[in-house]
Structure 1
Amino acid sequence: MSALFLQVMVVKNKIKVLVVDDSALMRKALRELIATDPALEVAGVARDGKDAIEKAREIQPDVITMDINMPEMDGLTSMQYILNENPEIPVIIISSLTRDGALATFEALALGAFDFVAKPSGTVSSNLYIVGKEIIEKIKLAYKHANRTSLKNRIRTRSSFSKARDAEDWAKSGADRSPELSKVVVIGVSTGGPGTLMDVLPMLRADLRAALIVVQHMPPTFTSSFAKRLGKACPFPFKEAEAGDVLADGRGYLAPGGYQLLVHRDGRMLRLSASPVTPFMPSVNVTMESVLRAYGGKRVVGVLMTGMGDDGADAMVKIRAAGGVTIAEDESTAIVFGMPRAAIERGGAEIVVPSYRIADEIVKAVHLC
């Protein structure tokens, strides 16, 4: 086999990426960044949403990186057109670290985007290399490990956020709840998590006899908006956790980005800490182990869902060994089967079910034990 033929085969096997951004600087930065990995190639660029639709039809890319705020047609609208025609193409949102950027990003995830990467310094980030490794990793994950059926189902149910009740309604419904704490459920999730959580939280019971803690790997500026999104879908009061919050049955808390969420050993009060420093902050392992130390295994339910890496797997092993219930998402629905796979392989998953059955298993673990 000739060297020339081998070179042609390598090029053909590259992951084709369509870069969509209205900034020439950002298009150049993304092109140069993607070119640093021999497994990837920029097959085309688009300067606005309309251009993206045309380029997607012409190029048939394997993955699309999509800006949101663009002239002519924004990224959200463009993505809907593209996914309606080609639901198998994963779209990664390249978003700004602002409140508006966060809200638009969650809307994109609800509409079927695979995942997002936050620009390190605004809409036009000359220092994009800071998140370069994350962008390359997520492009590869989107292409190689994305569950196509799950993505298609996400697109079909994209109105789920808008149909959810207002967070204030849920807060009012739980205003007179007892401060009793029966059990604590900790859900750990990463890549693909925002959409997958929407398969779980709306299906929980309003009278859940447990406090719920969600640990989602996410930038600090995003978690406040994300907590409000989840609060609209959750059947009981749900908020971003703050230092001094007290765990109680029928209440939910999202771990804030940039901190470790811990429980005081001698009580139910939550605290935030800048240590230990881990690759992801908040860390699923750190929160799960803190809850386990505070309440003992029999009062803890650990849940691990879609995400790359193995954060939470070791804690799941400890919870199960201590007599707690552990639930992992099955590969059939996991957008990225990294974290749940690690828990299963290490013996930390007592129950393995698709995402749409996780809520039922949580309710069983809380109410029937």
Structure 2
Amino acid sequence: MPYKVLVVDDSSFFQHRLKEIINECPELKVVGIAANGQEAIEKAASLQPDIISMDYEMPLLDGVSAVRAIMAERPVPIVMFSSMTYEGANITLEALDAGAVDFIPKNFAEVSKNSDLLKRRLHEKLITFASQANIAPVRSTDELAAEANVRSQRAREKTAALRERIASRTAPTEKSAAQPHRPRSEKRNLKGKVKLVVIGASTGGPVALSDIITQLPANFPAALLVVQHMPENFTKAFAERLNRLSAVTVKEAQSGDKLAPGSVLIAPGGMQMMLDRTGSAIKIIAGDDRVNYKPCVDITFASIANFYHEKVLAIVLTGMGSDGCDGARILKDKGAVLWSQDQASSIVYGMPAAVAKANLSDEVLSLGEFSSRLISDL
């Protein structure tokens, strides 16, 4: 039986095209269309879809407000259709904070030209999140919220409840990584030894990174590099948002930026982040079309391995695929320590599962443990 999809968009053109594209996949079926946020709330309640595709700029009620309302009443996976502009990136980040699980860039040319890439991307995301949320019977929102490690606000609790419900089940594409794996080795003493922390993430990463970085003190003793799969414009908006919320300094990385304790540099979307020949500053290069991810965790991990060896703590967070696994192996061979996120707190247990399955994780931690461990261990 196909997963039920609710399409929310105020444009009749996008309504029609998205319905056509989604219904081309036999595992998906559009059961309703909403033209504004208020209608989305009503149809989410009456149709009880398995997943929702949501626009953000609509009359009566915008997409972010609709996400908050839906998550507060009946949590369901919501994928945002987002403009590639800087303003669109900011609104998308608000939607993710409100409870959306992921986003897809909204490109008129791709939709109108019947892009195969858009179809694959859309079908994959909708099936992934719909299947994860429907493998087992849904528990009550209160039960899920009680298990979540989130902020105290009720809406945030229910958002995290959905994340845990989705993350506790593995998508068909991640079946091989469904079982948790034991850490590779005993806990190591890192106090005063780690000079650089590097974090890789993809799907679910913006919320996970926010939960970790905003808890770090201004005098955090190590430099931090972040590789989050995001398009250009999004990483700049994301860095600025984190900087406003954090005691540490956060910025989108540029060539020449120096590594410094308490400073967080985020790899720019569409580019690759490496260390320069001195190992003390950042080098940003154009993303090669032969590389799937721009930025790519493997590339940054491998570049760091040439310099910092046992002074590196690498962290692999939630995300589809296995980016970071090859780079983690190189780092481990040089003596680095690696932590990975556990299945229960990951939106998608792909990237962290890959490093755990390869026996590269020194420790497997839940999302709520990372910030406290970084503070206490370093």
**1:80-119 mapped onto 2 (5 Å cutoff):** 80-87=68-75, 89-119=76-106
Residue matched to 2:304: 291
**By how many angstroms is 1:333 displaced?**
0.3
Instruction: Say yes or no: does 1:33 pair with 2:21.
Output: yes
Residue matched to 1:133: 120
Cα separation, 2, equivalents of 1:229 and 1:131: 28
1:224 to 236, 249, 257: 236
Residue matched to 1:19: 7
Cα separation, 2, equivalents of 1:154 and 1:18: 27
Residue matched to 1:242: 254
Determine if contact 1:317/1:347 at 8 Å carries over to the other structure. no
Determine if contact 1:112/1:155 at 8 Å carries over to the other structure. no
**1:1-369 mapped onto 2 (5 Å cutoff):** 13-87=1-75, 89-121=76-108, 125-127=111-113, 129=115, 130-145=117-132, 149=144, 157=153, 183-276=195-288, 277-295=290-308, 297-365=309-377, 367=378
Cα distance, 1:314–1:362 mapped onto 2, change above 3 Å: farther
Cα separation, 2, equivalents of 1:357 and 1:258: 30
Task: Output the amino acid matched with 1:93.
Answer: M
Task: Output the amino acid matched with 1:94.
Answer: F
Residue matched to 2:179: none
Show structure 2 runs of 5+ residues with no match. 139-143, 158-192
Determine if contact 1:312/1:339 at 8 Å carries over to the other structure. yes
**By how many angstroms is 1:283 displaced?**
0.1
Show structure 1 runs of 5+ residues with no match. 1-12, 161-180
* TM-score normalised by structure 2 residue count: 0.82
Task: Output the amino acid matched with 2:296.
Answer: S
**By how many angstroms is 1:315 displaced?**
1.4
Task: Output the amino acid matched with 1:333.
Answer: S
Determine if contact 1:244/1:271 at 8 Å carries over to the other structure. yes
Cα separation, 2, equivalents of 1:359 and 1:250: 13
Cα separation, 2, equivalents of 1:355 and 1:78: 26
**By how many angstroms is 1:205 displaced?**
3.0
The number of aligned residues is: 331
Task: Output the amino acid matched with 2:112.
Answer: S
Determine if contact 2:149/2:368 at 8 Å carries over to the other structure. no
Helix, strand or coil for the counterpart of 1:260? strand
Cα separation, 2, equivalents of 1:64 and 1:361: 36
Cα separation, 1, equivalents of 2:38 and 2:262: 45
Helix, strand or coil for the counterpart of 1:106? helix
Between 1 and 2, higher relative CO (CA 8 Å, sep ≥ 6) is seen in: 2
Determine if contact 1:216/1:282 at 8 Å carries over to the other structure. yes
Residue matched to 1:10: none
**By how many angstroms is 1:267 displaced?**
3.2
Task: Output the amino acid matched with 1:136.
Answer: H
Task: Output the amino acid matched with 2:17.
Answer: A
Helix, strand or coil for the counterpart of 1:94? strand
Determine if contact 1:317/1:349 at 8 Å carries over to the other structure. no
Cα separation, 2, equivalents of 1:42 and 1:215: 34
Cα separation, 2, equivalents of 1:24 and 1:254: 37
> Percent identity among equivalent residues?
37
Cα separation, 2, equivalents of 1:298 and 1:62: 45
Determine if contact 2:99/2:156 at 8 Å carries over to the other structure. no
Deviation string 1:298-339 (CA, Å, 9 cap, x unpaired) is 111110000000000121122223211100000110010000
Cα distance, 1:81–1:226 mapped onto 2, change above 3 Å: same
* TM-score normalised by structure 1 residue count: 0.84
Determine if contact 2:287/2:295 at 8 Å carries over to the other structure. no
Cα separation, 2, equivalents of 1:76 and 1:203: 25
Cα separation, 2, equivalents of 1:140 and 1:197: 25
**By how many angstroms is 1:285 displaced?**
0.5
Helix, strand or coil for the counterpart of 1:281? coil
